[in-house]
Amino acid sequence: KNEVEQSPQNLTAQEGEFITINCSYSVGISALHWLQQHPGGGIVSLFMLSSGKKKHGRLIATINIQEKHSSLHITASHPRDSAVYICAVRSYNTDKLIFGTGTRLQVFP
Amino acid sequence: NAGVTQTPKFRILKIGQSMTLQCTQDMNHNYMYWYRQDPGMGLKLIYYSVGAGITDKGEVPNGYNVSRSTTEDFPLRLELAAPSQTSVYFCASSYDGSPNQPQHFGDGTRLSIL
């Protein structure tokens, strides 16, 4: 079983829909990252969080440390949001990032 | 700032050939990392460096070597390319190793070994 599990693996949506991507992890962590991988391959850091909730534009990330679960929400989705979204956790023991396999999101007009 | 720059973007190698993947950053970051991304798998750490002259193995170091002679550059060397090294390689950097520091990624190098 992977230490970081994301769901769903693939997600399609119509423009304007509310999107939720989930991340569950099984190790102790000092931080959780959400990353966006563009269709061209580049990876961009979206959020780092260790508790609570963060918001940036139409993106919201939440984390529940007790339940070892995080969600990434996209409000009013747009075709330009189409990308792979990757959850990564900073292991408390090793200080290294452990990556999920990603969620591929396609938003259609 | 260009951020993290990787070259080349694509490369095809024959089995047994060697090559160096280049990575440079202009953010004066101390920490640098090399990851590989295989289909259906999460990124795996190959090597990392906490500063010039200091490197250490990650999760999957076999078949690779690195050096860090300057703060800016962190090249990854494949000495005897094998088909199992076909992957997309990402270089990343961070200011330091603290949990609240994001990692900045390059655009990746897609490498095929035939």
Q: Interior CA angle at A22 toward B4 and A44, to 5°?
A: 10
> Which pair of tokens denotes residue B96?
């330091």
Q: What is the dihedral of CA B63, B95, B39, A33, to 10 degrees?
A: 140
Contacts of A73 (CB under 8 A, 6+ apart): A18, A19, A20, A21, A59, A60, A61, A62
Note the pLDDT tens digit of each residue in A9-23.
Answer: 999 999 999 999 999
The whole-angstrom distance between B92's CA and the closest CA on chain A is: 10
Instruction: Quote the DSSP letter at residue B41.
Output: S
Q: Answer whether A102 sits within 8 Å of B42, measured CB to CB.
A: yes
A1 pLDDT more than 90: no
Q: Give the residue carrying structure tokens 């090399």.
A: B34
| Residue A74 confidence class, pLDDT cut points 50, 70, 90 | very high
| CB-closest option in A2, A45, A90 to B99 | A90
The whole-angstrom distance between B103's CA and the closest CA on chain A is: 7
Give the Cα separation of B45 and B67 in Å (integer).
15
A63 pLDDT more than 90: yes
What pLDDT is stored for residue B1 in this prediction? 72
H/E stretch holding A35:
strand A29-37
Residues in chain A: 109
Which of chain B's residues have a Cβ under 8 Å away from the Cβ of A27? none
Which of chain B's residues have a Cβ under 8 Å away from the Cβ of A4? 42
What pLDDT is stored for residue A2 in this prediction? 84
Q: Give the residue-averaged pLDDT of A59-84.
A: 97
What pLDDT is stored for residue A40 in this prediction? 77
Note the pLDDT tens digit of each residue in A36-62.
Answer: 998 877 899 999 999 999 999 999 999
How many Cβ atoms are within 10 Å of A18's Cβ, its own excluded? 11
Cis, bond preceding A8 (omega within 30 deg of 0): yes
> Which pair of tokens denotes residue B2?
């260009």
What pLDDT is stored for residue B19 in this prediction? 96
pLDDT by residue for chain B (114 residues), tens only, comes to 789 999 999 999 999 999 999 999 999 999 999 999 998 899 999 999 999 999 999 999 999 999 999 999 999 999 999 999 999 999 999 998 888 889 999 999 999 999
Note the pLDDT tens digit of each residue in A81-109.
Answer: 999 999 999 999 988 999 999 999 999 99
Q: Interior CA angle at A71 toward A69 and A73, to 5°?
A: 175
